[in-house]
Amino acid sequence: MLIKKTIGFIGAGNMGEALIKGLLASKKITPAQILVADKVKERLAYIAEHYEAKVFTKSFEVAKGADVIILAVKPNDVKSALQEIGSDLNKDKLLISIAAGGTGSSKRRQGYCSSYL
């Protein structure tokens, strides 16, 4: 299912890193399939060094290049993250949020996406 899919992470904190580590350990994807954006440049350097993922300072760059986008930001950063990537979402992209709080229906009502898990 993930073969030839690009997985993008918006947020590279503990939860995002745990998912990256688990996906790579599963051997279902390669580091070349992982795109990561975070506000903290030092965190991006760590992720690039330890997991060989491609990193970006802007979330929209990940959203443009990813087939699956995992929103792994703190709850108070969800709205700004969705505003940044909203124009790069379409019906062919899967958006998954692991941020606490909120619902998919609330994100759809706000106009950020049509498909949301």
Q: What CATH code is carried by the domain that includes residue 82? A: 3.40.50.720
Residue 114, domain member (yes or no): no
Amino acid at 78: V
Residue 96, domain member (yes or no): yes
* Chain segment 12-56, per-residue pLDDT in tens: 999 999 999 999 999 999 999 999 999 999 999 999 999 999 999
Domain that holds residue 26: 7-109
Asked whether residue 116 carries a pLDDT value surpassing 60, the answer given is no
* Chain segment 4-14, per-residue pLDDT in tens: 899 999 999 99
* Chain segment 58-81, per-residue pLDDT in tens: 999 999 999 999 999 999 999 999
b/e code 2-13 from CB counts within 10 Å (16+ = b):
eeeebbbbbbbe
Is there a contact between 86 and 110 (Cβ–Cβ < 8 Å)? Answer: no
Report pLDDT for 117: 44
Asked whether residue 115 carries a pLDDT value surpassing 90, the answer given is no
Residue 55, domain member (yes or no): yes
Residue 33, domain member (yes or no): yes
Report pLDDT for 109: 42
Asked whether residue 105 carries a pLDDT value surpassing 70, the answer given is no
Of all residues in the chain, the percent with pLDDT exceeding 70 is 84
Asked whether residue 100 carries a pLDDT value surpassing 80, the answer given is no
Phi, psi of 32, deg, nearest 5? -65, -20
- If one counts the domains in the chain, the total is 1
